[in-house]
Amino acid sequence: MNKSIKILFFGDIIGKPGRRALIKYLNSNKDGADLIIANAENAAHGFGVQEQHIIELQNAGVQVFTGGNHTFDRREIFEFMDRYPQVLRPANYPDGTPGKGSYLIQVGDCKVGVINLHGRVFMEPLGSPFLCADKLIEDLRRDTNIIFVDFHAEATAEKQALGWYLDGRVSVVVGTHTHVQTADERVLPQGTAYITDAGACSPMLSVIGMELEGVFRRMVKQLPSRFEVASGPAAVCGVAVNVDVETGKALTIERIRFEETGE
């Protein structure tokens, strides 16, 4: 058995530019990765995800897909979600919501548990992500001590609180949703790798992936505006984490940032 595994995680994939840039990055940079996870809730034109995009990203090497508040923006997901157990939605949605919030994947000689959670501060009033995590960790610990958590949340304080709450009980806690990569990656004292936000795979000339004109119309003039995914070169943001297989504790966490050049 390997002494450690390398997990790559990529933040919110924003439409075609985000998919294109991530696939370009993975075509030349996934060597040595044992597991690749990405948040795909915005992969379809900036809102939701379609089956064709899951297949496209799987072919590029992504093995598990997490979601968030835009997971169900496109009705097509109800038609294919049950066929893709590796496509997650937040686990703290109400009982009976389609899909699953956790997934156990075989990675070489070991298994890795992946948990997707949704924040409550400035977001929908879902179940407690803290209590939901407690239950899922207890279940997954029967099969593995390597657990990865994507916490899709707005408030940095809520993300930090969950990181500290789970320190030593999971291998990794990454924040998503705000689309802006933070510079606070570290391994917490009890062995959990943490970053407040992994960032996004998103057009660079944009406001969190959206065209400037529509954003200005809404924010400056306070008028209704339909947000459209911006065009042009995109950046790929995420993290690379090395985890000790025996203990499940993180050894290192490093930010990833790759920028396309030209169109």
In what helix (H) or strand (E) does residue 17 lie, and over which residues does it extend?
helix 15-29
Catalytic option among 70, 118, 152, 177: 70
Scanning the structure block, which residue is given the tokens 């066929």?
A: 83
Residue 78 exposed, middle or buried by CB count within 10 Å (0-12, 13-18, 19+):
exposed
Which residues have CB under 8 Å from 121's CB, separation 6+? 153, 154, 155, 157, 158
Q: What share of the chain is helix, strand, coil (3-state, %, to 5)?
A: 25, 30, 45
Tell me if residue 70 is catalytic. Answer: yes
Map residue 31 onto helix, strand or coil. coil
Locate 127 and state its tokens.
Answer: 């179940």
Q: Please, how many CA atoms are within 13 Å of residue 250, restricted to the half-sphere of its CB?
A: 31
Q: In what order do the strands lie in the sheet with 193-195?
A: 102-107, 110-118, 147-152, 172-176, 193-195, 186-187
Find the helix or strand (DSSP H, E) in which 162 lies. helix 156-166
Residues tagged active-site: 70
